[in-house]
Structure 1
């Protein structure tokens, strides 16, 4: 018993390096097929090749795994232990192979996408809904964050792709940046606002109004501030809100003006809760980008998603007003 225990201690940490899956497969084939010749026929191997491998297996573990009594091949006590584990190991390998086949065939898999607060609410649900309709077995996750939050998620590897309107300066990881969708930013006010009835509004007129803005780190806010700064102007924030929906409600209540994406305001403009101001130089035309880590190894689901985005037919389904937020 002392010697057996010592052998077990020697084998336990190294057995995976000494015994091959091929040997385990041969062992189970001999037992389940009822002998060497049947196993050889089923596997397309020679009987001596199988015998050689199983002798090597016995030598590796230090005791025979098979014995021949009469004309029957039987497992030894060590062989029985190894056979029970071998069946489970081979079943796991078969399951892994099936899972990989399903992944390659897009019958399973996961897609993690995050977008900024505008594209994540008004565009990506339609895109991902269309993608999942085409690939119903894919598990889809959508996150919504501001520009800085998207960058942090991407660097941390929490998402596969992000969609953002503005690029990041000096990112800590190499990025692939692809054009995604055009985005128009418009100036909005309450329909009762004095500027709403004018055919022409100057940038100076707009900048003089109390502004309702997004939080710091918002790409929409940065773009609006840059556009006015380029004209030597600055905005006068009276409210800072982290939600497009909250901004729209505040504007509709005559608390100030704002600049938001046309995608975010389509329904409110349509039903008359908001008015688009005819400001010189507007709309501000910007571009959303699809971004992912350059070192990311693209799997079948990732590649299918990129092909789906590039195909572009999903764009026909977006931008139709459904509900206010």
Structure 2
């Protein structure tokens, strides 16, 4: 069993395609397929179900995947730690962020990191907070920046609080509430909302606030990015609750203070098992303490 074979399996699992996996791994598809078939023979089990239309992992493949990822992570960390002992920062830096992160300027920090450490492979994933926490736990992401309700803390990871913020209402310029300096949750509950999908941490903070006030609201639009949220608000189709530190980046919308608004906390998180040298160097650029 070889590390390269594991990389191929992970690539196919993440892309659901032998063709796209080969492109990612910079090999021809026949070579990738041959190595995976060789690994399957060695394991005595098929890892993928292949048809002309789709690729899907078998139960054996699902069982193999987490261990394969751990092996690759361990190999990458071993190489990075060796380089760090020689005074070099190498390896990878996988960063995760929510779309409304406001406490840190991620693009600016990544640009400075690349300038200082050009030999590190950088990747970025945007997703909901709960997904980022899970990926940090499993080593798929090194450092993540997320937001949670004040009643919740990141579980199973090391965390550093970055900032606290309150949500504000965001409406179209022509909306009847646009000229109001302040509104309450009761004054908003009859509006049609755009929000994150149900079950996400970002949605939870708003749902909790309306529920605690004994109010119901209609969330007609569920989206995963703040940019699309703003587009729906600009069109007059819905209103939204967004972090006040983030809405300053938006144009074509009106912000209204919410007297009884929910709050959130932004965190930087990383694995409890320790940080790779690249992750430590990246957090140092952001002046986030090592402890």
Q: Which TM-score applies when normalising by structure 2?
A: 0.62
Find 1:300's aligned residue among 252, 277, 285.
277
d(CA) in 2 for partners of 1:125, 1:209: 35
2:261 corresponds to 1:279: no
Once the two structures are superposed, what CA deviation does each residue of 1:268-291 show, in whole Å capped at 9, x if it has no partner? 34xxx1000232134x44221111
Q: Which residue of 2 aligns with 1:118?
A: 100
d(CA) in 2 for partners of 1:98, 1:192: 55
**Alignment check: 8 A CA contact 1:176 1:294 kept:** yes
Q: Which residue of 1 aligns with 2:197?
A: 215
Gap change, CA 1:221 and 1:267, over 3 Å in 2: same
State the 1:183 CA deviation. Answer: 4.0
**Alignment check: 8 A CA contact 1:106 1:301 kept:** no
d(CA) in 1 for partners of 2:80, 2:208: 53
Q: Helix, strand or coil: the match of 1:117?
A: coil
Gap change, CA 1:169 and 1:265, over 3 Å in 2: closer
Q: Which residue of 1 aligns with 2:14?
A: none
Find 1:230's aligned residue among 204, 212, 216.
212
Q: Which residue of 1 aligns with 2:250?
A: 268
d(CA) in 1 for partners of 2:214, 2:206: 13
State the 1:158 CA deviation. Answer: 0.7
Q: Which residue of 1 aligns with 2:31?
A: none
State the 1:196 CA deviation. Answer: 0.8
Q: CA RMSD in A?
A: 3.1
**Alignment check: 8 A CA contact 2:99 2:127 kept:** yes
**Alignment check: 8 A CA contact 1:188 1:251 kept:** yes
Find 1:289's aligned residue among 264, 267, 273.
267
State the 1:149 CA deviation. Answer: 1.8
Q: Which moved more, 1:102-111 or 1:208-217?
A: 102-111
State the 1:188 CA deviation. Answer: 0.3
Find 1:246's aligned residue among 228, 251, 266.
228
2:140 corresponds to 1:163: no
Aligned pairs for 1:1-325 (under 5 A) are: 100-101=82-83, 104-119=86-101, 123-166=105-148, 171=155, 174-269=156-251, 273-282=252-261, 284-296=262-274, 298-310=275-287
Gap change, CA 1:301 and 1:242, over 3 Å in 2: closer
More strand by share: 2
Gap change, CA 1:97 and 1:197, over 3 Å in 2: closer
State the 1:102 CA deviation. Answer: 6.1
State the 1:201 CA deviation. Answer: 1.7
d(CA) in 1 for partners of 2:80, 2:95: 26
**Alignment check: 8 A CA contact 1:177 1:289 kept:** yes
More helix by share: 1
d(CA) in 2 for partners of 1:247, 1:97: 42
Q: Helix, strand or coil: the match of 1:221?
A: helix
Unaligned runs of 5+ in 2: 1-77
d(CA) in 1 for partners of 2:180, 2:220: 23
Gap change, CA 1:140 and 1:149, over 3 Å in 2: same
d(CA) in 2 for partners of 1:187, 1:149: 26
Gap change, CA 1:302 and 1:199, over 3 Å in 2: closer
State the 1:231 CA deviation. Answer: 1.9
Once the two structures are superposed, what CA deviation does each residue of 1:119-175 show, in whole Å capped at 9, x if it has no partner? 29x84223222332333333221111112321331232211122221287794xx42
d(CA) in 2 for partners of 1:98, 1:111: 11
Gap change, CA 1:215 and 1:309, over 3 Å in 2: same
